[in-house]
Amino acid sequence: MKRMTFVQALNDALDLLMAADERVFLLGEDIGHMGGDFGVTRGLFAKYGGERVRDTPLSEAAIIGTSVGAAMVGMRPIPEIMFADFLGTCYDQIVNNAAKMHYMFDGQFKAPIVIRTAAGGGFGGGPHHSQSVEGWFMNVPGLVIVGPSTPYDAKGLLIASVENDNPVLFLEHKALYRVRGDVEEGYYSVPLRKAARLREGTDITIVASMKMTHEALAAAEELAVDGISVEVIDLRTLRPWDQQTVLEAVAKTGRAVVVNEAPKMGGLGADVSATIAEECFRQLKAPVQRVCGLDTPIPFSVPLEKVILPNKDDVKTAVRAALAD
């Protein structure tokens, strides 16, 4: 094991993938000489050259359109969309081309592309650089959405995503880029569609992902001081998410809190909480609690942003509300 930041783990995964398979190539804005806006592709241009680490024009539609075409003829592109908010400008290429390719051509063509993008708020980036976008894509059949919370998972899930033949939206929360953790050296993968049970508990289950996993773990630590035993599940794959692991955990504890950074309406938290309510109705001792961002654009002001985005205190409040019923 080696101590790495989230960014270093992603960079290591890309390096290993490119070394193992010459069909893998990268493309995006400023990913070559500059090494990416967040440094994830740093050093790869010098090692693999401009044919496999391609700087592109400022056109997200062109980046994803090119990736879909390349994937159809056998390549394994890994495009980078600098900020997840800009996925709106290539939404058609993702939803109507990549996600439907295998279905429309009965498997004769496929679109094994992994779209890396930086998501989430908490750094004063404002309304166009801070959104949690998983809800935009939750009801798109054929698309896989991945959201790691640790450097170990970031590396392993990225490798698994590239090995997968489906189009994958790979969300990297910006607040986690500097997080450090132990990462296995060499080539390994973390299975898609499999949640991680990060903490065992008996009183209540918290289901979270990406940065909210860290808020959930922090809340669980503080609640333990008061004798409250909290189980924490990290979804890791957001679509399709691991219902078996989540429902088994909730059936055991009888209470659930679902934490999602995005606004409450129509998002990942809504789907997870609704499924828990439907499938664990007889095991639930209290209504499912949701902790989500407020229904408003993200402001530039960091103090205002802290009010809008959920944190460990909001999680603790929801846990106590569920236990009070």
Give catalytic residue positions: 129
Greatest C-alpha distance within the chain: 60
Name 181's bridge partners: 4
In the numeric block, which tokens belong to residue 296?
């408003």
Residue that the structure tokens 């009070």 belong to: 324
Q: Is residue 268 within 8 Å of residue 135, measured between CB atoms? A: yes
Bridge-based pairing of strands 204-208 and 230-234 is: parallel
The values of phi and psi at residue 102, to 5°, are -60, -45
- Angstrom distance (rounded) from CA 36 to CA 40: 6
Nearest to 146 by CA among 249, 10, 295, 294: 10
Provide the total of helices (H) and of strands (E) in the chain, helices listed first: 12, 14
What angle, 0 to 180 degrees and rounded to 10, lies between the N-to-C axes of helices 243-253 and 268-279? Answer: 60
